[in-house]
């Protein structure tokens, strides 16, 4: 680990405890130059970091004389930080020189080294050491600094951002559960069709299911919705054929992990189901305006909602996501939607209404259920329940309107 990595690690500690950069220049050039952070008077955690300005410096010049000259120039410039943290590859300034310079300049001075790992200096050194002790006393020289950055978190660096998400949520149980449930329902439908006298396993897999079979299993069917509104949800777990489910599940697997880590599993599960309902309501309402009966199935509304939830999170929490990841999310999301809407216009059996309905609901749900990035806590269960209830109320009203259109 070099001085720049160690400097970044200290910055993550301070940012995690509520610090903010004092200027845009510091925020934009945070990795290899001295940067100043303002620590609040009321830290977020129990670690009592002193309030005020902290100057974090990747220190490369050897010797106390160099440090003395630099401190004098700093004072002459009018800068008066409360705490200065020197991060060094190896011990460049002796401990007693650190203490002498701190006393002479009447400030808190902390010296960190990566090889061998140590933290020395005035009172604030003990607090910084407390935060890094477990990691530094093991094998800091050989560690991957991104793992440590992820532990306290800062979203500016794309690698840190992604590592932080994986560190905070290594598992994505809801994505796995939804994928498994869709596959199990498909397998059950194949098995049931294969048991019919006129059916066959391979013919069912190759040819897919007929309209009657899909309606029997709970499709979004225009003639049944008034008395069986549960079909709005059940239809999101049905698929017409093997290609249909394979495409949806691949998209869910690729999009779901990011969305679940951003939102948290509970909020992500709610966004998934709300998107499924939103897609089904939009599909039913659109087809209610058309002539003749309609049957719609598939998880694509929910999948579009998962994409929408990620975009909604990014829009609501833009200041926590690296700018180029933010732009990439919007760009890739827009491309995904444009391609699929284009395909839907070209291929009549693709249900664009379900896609767009799921996308709109998912985007709104992702924004409403967003949170501070991990390790920030999710909103309280009661707050999330109230948000979900509001969405259900709106979807219920929309469904009643769609029923009126169909009548």
SS (HEC) of the chain = CCHHHHHHHHHHHHHHCCCEECCHHHHHCCCCCCEEEEECCCCCCCCCCCCEEEEEEECCCCCHHHHHHHHHHHHHCCCCCCEEEEEECCCCCCHHHHHHHHHHHCCEEEEEEECCEEEEECHHHHHHHHHHHHHHHHHHHHCCHHHHHHHHCCCCCHHHHHHHHHHHCCCCHHHHHHHHHHHHHHHHHHHHHHHCCCCCHHHHHHHCCCHHHHHHHCCEECCCCCCCCCHHHHHHHCCCCHHHHHHHHHHHHHHHHHHHHHHCHHHHHHHHHHHHHHHHHHHHHHHHCCCCCCEECCCHHHHHHHHHHHHHHHHHCHHHCCHHHHHHHHHHHHHHHHHHHHHHHHCCCCCHHHHHHHHHHHHHHHHHCCCCCCCCCCCCHHHHHHHHHHHHHHHHHHHHHHHHHHC
Higher pLDDT, 131 or 80: 80
Which pLDDT belongs to residue 152?
A: 41
Domain 173-406 has CATH 3.30.70.120: no
pLDDT > 70: percent of the chain? 80
Q: What is the mean pLDDT of the chain?
A: 81
Burial class (CB in 10 A: 0-12, 13-18, 19+), 105: middle
Which residue intervals of the chain bear CATH 1.20.1540.10?
173-406
- What confidence tier does 111 reach under pLDDT thresholds 50, 70, 90? confident
Report the distance separating Cα 390 and Cα 279, nearest Å.
17
Lowest pLDDT segment from 111-125, 130-144, 300-314, 366-380: 130-144
- Report which of 267, 355, 246, 278 is spatially closest to residue 310, judged by C-alpha positions: 267
**Which of 198-212, 348-362, 365-379 shows the lowest per-residue confidence on average (mean pLDDT)?**
198-212
pLDDT, position 157: 58
Q: Rounded to whole angstroms, how far apart are CA atoms 399 and 62?
A: 72
C-alpha gyration radius of the chain: 28
The pLDDT score that the predictor gives to residue 291 is 58
Q: Of 330, 4, 375, 307, which Cα lies nearest the Cα of 155?
A: 375
Give the pLDDT of residue 6.
78
Q: Residue 95's pLDDT is what?
A: 81
Q: Region 398-407: what's the mean pLDDT? A: 82
pLDDT in tens, 199-256: 566 667 767 888 888 999 999 998 898 899 999 999 999 998 899 999 999 999 989 9
Q: What is the pLDDT of residue 108?
A: 86
Which burial class, exposed, middle or buried, applies to 381 when counting CB atoms under 10 A from its CB (0-12, 13-18, 19+)? exposed
Mean per-residue pLDDT, 340-359: 82
Q: Is the pLDDT of residue 355 over 70?
A: yes
Identify the pLDDT of residue 144.
41
Q: Looking at residue 143, what is its pLDDT?
A: 39
């Amino acid at each position: 680990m070099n001085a720049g990595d160690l400097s970044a690690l200290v910055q993550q500690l301070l940012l995690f405890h509520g610090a903010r950069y004092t200027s845009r220049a510091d925020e934009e050039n945070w990795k290899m130059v001295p940067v100043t952070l303002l620590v609040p008077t009321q830290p977020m955690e129990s670690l009592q970091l002193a309030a005020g300005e902290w100057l974090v410096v990747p220190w490369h010049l050897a010797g106390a004389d160099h440090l003395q000259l630099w401190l004098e120039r700093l004072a002459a410039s009018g800068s008066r930080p409360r705490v200065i943290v020197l991060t060094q590859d190896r011990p460049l300034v002796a401990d007693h020189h650190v203490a002498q310079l701190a006393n002479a300049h009447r400030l808190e001075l902390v010296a960190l080294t990566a090889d061998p790992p140590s933290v020395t200096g005035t009172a604030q050194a003990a607090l910084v050491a407390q935060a890094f002790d477990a990691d530094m006393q093991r094998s800091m020289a050989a560690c991957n600094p991104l793992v440590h950055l992820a532990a306290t978190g800062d979203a500016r660096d794309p690698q840190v951002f992604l590592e932080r998400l994986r560190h905070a949520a290594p598992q994505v149980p809801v994505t796995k559960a939804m994928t498994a449930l869709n596959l199990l329902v498909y397998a059950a439908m194949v098995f049931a069709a294969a048991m019919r006298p006129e059916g066959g396993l391979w013919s069912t897999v190759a040819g897919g299911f007929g309209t009657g079979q899909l309606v029997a299993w709970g499709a979004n069917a225009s003639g049944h919705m008034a008395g069986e509104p549960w079909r709005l949800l059940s239809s999101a777990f049905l698929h017409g054929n093997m290609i249909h489910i394979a495409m949806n599940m691949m998209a869910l697997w690729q999009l779901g992990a990011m969305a679940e880590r951003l939102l948290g599993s509970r909020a992500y599960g709610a966004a998934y189901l709300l998107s499924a309902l939103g897609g089904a309501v939009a599909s039913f309402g659109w087809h209610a305006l058309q002539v003749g009966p309609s049957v719609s199935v598939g998880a694509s509304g929910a999948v579009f909602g998962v994409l929408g939830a990620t975009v909604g999170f990014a829009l609501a929490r833009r200041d926590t996501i690296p700018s180029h990841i933010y732009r990439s999310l919007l760009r890739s999301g827009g491309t995904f939607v444009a391609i699929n809407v284009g395909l839907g216009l070209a291929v009549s059996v693709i249900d664009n209404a379900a896609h767009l309905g799921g996308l709109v609901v998912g985007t709104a749900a992702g924004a409403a259920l967003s949170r501070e990035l991990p390790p920030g806590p999710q909103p309280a269960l009661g707050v999330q329940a109230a948000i979900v209830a509001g969405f259900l109320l709106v979807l219920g009203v929309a469904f009643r309107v769609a029923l009126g259109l169909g009548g």
